[in-house]
Amino acid sequence: MTHRVAIVGAGPSGFYAADGLLRANPDLHIDLIDRLPTPHGLVRAGVAPDHQGTKAVTRQFDRLLAQPDVRFAGNIEIGRDLSWDEVRTGYDAVIVATGMVIDRKLGIPGEDQPQVWGSWRFVAWLNGHPDFRQGPDLSQVRRVAVIGNGNVALDVARLLAKSAEEMAKSDIVPTAAAAIAAAPLTDIHVIGRRGAEHASFTSNELAEMGRLARAVSVADAAALEGHPPASDPTPERLRKAKNLEILKGFAHNKPGSKPVTVHFRFNAAPVAFRSGELELTTGKLPVDLVITCIGYTGEDFPKAEGVFAVGWAKRGPSGTIPTNRADSHAVAKDVAVWLKARDPKSGPDPLPLCIDADGWHRIDKAETAAGAAQGRPRVKLTEWQTLLEVAQGT
């Protein structure tokens, strides 16, 4: 008899947990369960579709699915198709890797208007998540406010600002690409509540904003003064100094010198949104769409003996894909020690009918074949019904 472990959530932290478990004890059976018929979590649904290099990690994840004792179980939502109690009873240990993707609220009047979108809903639409097939109506959108000073804000601004040619090799869903290309966009405001020195952009992503074909990035020079170089540079301080240098370069650019202008605005907190106008602590800004990129919260899961958490479900919505590796490996070691002290449970297979790795490979094959015909990495299937039919080979 071998121990059975359920990993709930087949995003990066779930895959790294499976990898860690197999390193700690190759003699285990692992079920990697996801509510979607596709694995990879936010690497598929969140990471920007024009950053294919970042998405390449999925090849490593798919190799794990080829291991004989790892089973992908897609289209099973814990809490809906199986209760958490059933999972706990059916497995010797449970690892919760469900992530955290409920958009955080700004808490300002007007936030519930249809012109205000959370970044998750927005990127999930661009990335073809089957629960988010409807994007914002961009047909009249000329001015967009992107609220937040992290990499997700840069992703959103860049994806709106890039030309159709620049997106040609991405796996953005075609309807979203067409809606962006047809929008009469002229201005994108990236708004930070605090000063430029506090922005958490990574320098490479910020520098990319200076190399866009149809958009020019600008910043107010006055907002970038008064930050002398630190005497004891840590990597974090070096990143901030590099960002300030990049932004100072943007301050020399001329607004309007390309069809779209991306304005970096700092020390401006949102106060209210009224149809067509975002009120900031620094004044009023006419905008047609607001996209908030201010972080996420998640759903609760039972904390009980034999239940371990990894990734964003454990740490909250921070850290990149590689951050999850060390974290999941450490938790996997704890799980292996915990299991060692217990006899394996016996009982029937706890899983109902699911989409297995073969089903996912059928989806993958259909998507990459459709992509190849257009010179793209893939064209995603975005409809639940189609995903399930293709996975089942019907």
Ligand X SMILES: Cc1cc2nc3c(=O)[nH]c(=O)nc-3n(C[C@H](O)[C@H](O)[C@H](O)COP(=O)(O)OP(=O)(O)OC[C@H]3O[C@@H](n4cnc5c(N)ncnc54)[C@H](O)[C@@H]3O)c2cc1C
3-state secondary structure of 10: coil
How many Å apart are CA 158 and CA 75, to the nearest integer? 32
- Among 146, 248, 246, which Cα is nearest to 187's? 146
> In terms of CB distance, is 3 or 325 closer to ligand X?
325
Please, what is the minimum distance in Å from the beta carbon of residue 97 to ligand X?
A: 5
3-state secondary structure of 340: helix
Please, what is the minimum distance in Å from the beta carbon of residue 53 to ligand X?
A: 9
Burial class (CB in 10 A: 0-12, 13-18, 19+), 253: middle
Binding site for ligand X (CB under 6 A): 8-14, 33-36, 41-42, 46-47, 51, 54, 77-79, 97-99, 101, 123, 152, 155, 311-313, 319-321, 324
The residue at minimum Cβ distance from ligand X is 11
> In terms of CB distance, is 236 or 299 closer to ligand X?
299
Which tokens go with 265?
A: 């605005």
User: At what angle are helices 357-372 and 57-65 packed, to 10 degrees?
Assistant: 140
> In terms of CB distance, is 73 or 216 closer to ligand X?
73
Using the Cα atoms of residue 191, residue 193, residue 196 and residue 202 in order, give the sign of their dihedral: negative
Instruction: Report the DSSP beta bridge partners of residue 260.
Output: 215
Please, what is the minimum distance in Å from the beta carbon of residue 35 to ligand X?
A: 4
> In terms of CB distance, is 223 or 351 closer to ligand X?
351
Instruction: Report the DSSP beta bridge partners of residue 32.
Output: 7, 72
Please, what is the minimum distance in Å from the beta carbon of residue 104 to ligand X?
A: 12
Please, what is the minimum distance in Å from the beta carbon of residue 315 to ligand X?
A: 8
* CB distance 219 to 251 below 8 Å: yes
Please, what is the minimum distance in Å from the beta carbon of residue 91 to ligand X?
A: 14
> In terms of CB distance, is 116 or 331 closer to ligand X?
331
How many Å apart are CA 314 and CA 94, to the nearest integer? 13
> In terms of CB distance, is 89 or 281 closer to ligand X?
89
> In terms of CB distance, is 205 or 288 closer to ligand X?
205
> In terms of CB distance, is 63 or 340 closer to ligand X?
63
Task: Tell me the backbone φ, ψ of residue 138, rounded to 5 degrees.
Answer: -100, 0
Please, what is the minimum distance in Å from the beta carbon of residue 305 to ligand X?
A: 20
* CB distance 55 to 47 below 8 Å: yes
Please, what is the minimum distance in Å from the beta carbon of residue 219 to ligand X?
A: 23
CA 161 to chain centre: 19
Q: In sequence order, which ranges of 128-234 are alpha helices (DSSP H)? A: 151-161, 174-182, 203-208
> In terms of CB distance, is 70 or 280 closer to ligand X?
70
* CB distance 181 to 164 below 8 Å: yes
> In terms of CB distance, is 34 or 367 closer to ligand X?
34
Q: In sequence order, which ranges of the chain are alpha helices (DSSP H)? A: 12-24, 41-45, 52-55, 57-65, 84-90, 119-126, 151-161, 174-182, 203-208, 235-251, 311-315, 321-340, 357-372, 384-391
Please, what is the minimum distance in Å from the beta carbon of residue 103 to ligand X?
A: 10
Strand order in the sheet with 260-265: 116-118, 289-292, 143-147, 187-191, 260-265, 215-219
Please, what is the minimum distance in Å from the beta carbon of residue 229 to ligand X?
A: 28
> In terms of CB distance, is 23 or 342 closer to ligand X?
23
Please, what is the minimum distance in Å from the beta carbon of residue 198 to ligand X?
A: 20
